[in-house]
Amino acid sequence: MQELLTHPVVSGLLVMTLVGVLAYKAGFLDISGMISAFVVGFAVWYTGGPPAFTILLFFFLTSGLATKFKYKAKAKQGLAQEGKGKRSYKNVLASGIIPLFFSVAWYIARVYPSLGIDPFWMFGGFVGAVATTAADTLASEIGVFSKSKPRLITNLRRKVPRGTIGAVSLLGEAVAAAAGLAIGIIAIFFALVSSGTAWGSVPVANAAQFMFIIPLAILTGFIGCNLDSLIGAIAQNRFVCEICGAITDKEFHCSYETKYVGGFKRFTNIHVNLGSSTMGATLGIVLGAGLFVWILGGLFFWIAASSSS
Ligand SMILES: [Zn+2]
């Protein structure tokens, strides 16, 4: 009986049924969102095991709570997620498909060592993708409460109304880094419990990889989140609110219809999220592959060079 319960398929179905029902009851997801979350969650549990699943669950719970946090106040200012904050299959897939891809890649690297892929690289990709998405979601849901007006990422001297696409604030940046840190801490916890290539372990092969986990999670979360703002500011479809002047991705603002002003018309927030989490994952692989020292060194010289000129 116990053997049956601990089989990844059985435990995954049990865990996902519980999480799915609770998430639906809490109003985090609509029906389509619940079904797709069930599929993504189960596949991540089966391939990446409890460490991958817990990291994804952290994102899911915190973003659900952050979306609900002061929802009415955000809705009044046109800053809230549509549909009473319930996310549909589109949101679930936009934030879950890249992590799922890397969870499967991590599984393949683990099960077929002859391929010569270090599972830690794919683990890095997974962490990078989730950290980016979590940082971006939490930074936007909480960053709107920043007391000072946000600035535009493509022109930091320019102050813009809250909710503007590509708007960044110090609070948002701090939240992004904290989200990465939290994911790093979860990963470290699991690495301490069990590391290696078995199911449910964090694929850490040496002390250096272990030391990389937290910086990797913070850097991918922070950089990925800012890349998201940058891609959004450059390419996303934009509408202007003729009442308050906010530039937004919403077709309604201040209870009135907004006017289309620019960006690629079919390039929505979903595409921006997919793009940024792919970049976050790529960065995670690069960092996981041990190019950390090079990147930090390069960053150091770049800052040194730009501050001396
Ligand atoms: Zn407005």
User: Cβ neighbours of residue 208 under 8 Å, at least 6 residues apart?
Assistant: 290
Measure 4 CA to ligand 1 centroid, in angstroms: 56
Measure 255 CA to ligand 1 centroid, in angstroms: 8
Measure 254 CA to ligand 1 centroid, in angstroms: 4
Measure 241 CA to ligand 1 centroid, in angstroms: 5
- Is the separation of the CB atoms in 20 and 37 below 8 Å? yes
Return phi, psi of residue 162, to 5°. Answer: -60, 145
Three-state helix/strand/coil letters over 37-85: HHHHHHHHHHHHHHHHHHHHHHHHHHHHHHHHCCHHHHHHCCCCCCHHH
Measure 71 CA to ligand 1 centroid, in angstroms: 17
Buried b / exposed e along 28-53 (16+ C-beta atoms within 10 A):
bbbebbbebbbebbbbbbbbbbbbbb
Q: What is the pLDDT of residue 179?
A: 97
Q: What is the pLDDT of residue 292?
A: 63
Q: What is the pLDDT of residue 308?
A: 66
Measure 72 CA to ligand 1 centroid, in angstroms: 15
Measure 253 CA to ligand 1 centroid, in angstroms: 4
Assign 146 to helix, strand or coil: coil
Measure 259 CA to ligand 1 centroid, in angstroms: 11
Q: What is the pLDDT of residue 291?
A: 67
Please state whether beta strands 247-248 and 238-240 pair in parallel, antiparallel, or not at all (unpaired): antiparallel
- Is the separation of the CB atoms in 44 and 103 below 8 Å? yes
Q: What is the pLDDT of residue 294?
A: 67
Measure 36 CA to ligand 1 centroid, in angstroms: 33
User: Cβ neighbours of residue 116 under 8 Å, at least 6 residues apart?
Assistant: none
Helices (H), the chain: 2-6, 8-25, 31-68, 71-76, 89-111, 119-143, 170-193, 207-235, 269-286, 292-308
Structure tokens at 31: 């029906």
Q: What is the pLDDT of residue 173?
A: 95
Whose CA is closest to 144, among 179, 120, 127, 169?
Answer: 169
149-202 confidence digits (pLDDT tens): 899 998 899 998 887 888 999 999 999 999 999 999 999 999 999 888 889 899
122-157 confidence digits (pLDDT tens): 999 999 999 999 999 999 899 888 888 899 998 899
Tokens 């919403």 correspond to 250
Measure 260 CA to ligand 1 centroid, in angstroms: 13
Structure tokens at 81: 């997620």
- Is the separation of the CB atoms in 102 and 283 below 8 Å? no
CA distance 221 to 63: 14
Measure 245 CA to ligand 1 centroid, in angstroms: 6
Buried b / exposed e along 86-97 (16+ C-beta atoms within 10 A):
bbbbebbbbbbb
The number of beta carbons lying within 10 Å of the beta carbon of residue 3 is 7
Measure 235 CA to ligand 1 centroid, in angstroms: 21
Measure 190 CA to ligand 1 centroid, in angstroms: 45
Measure 73 CA to ligand 1 centroid, in angstroms: 14
Name residues of the chain where pLDDT drops below 50.
Answer: none
Measure 267 CA to ligand 1 centroid, in angstroms: 21
Measure 131 CA to ligand 1 centroid, in angstroms: 30
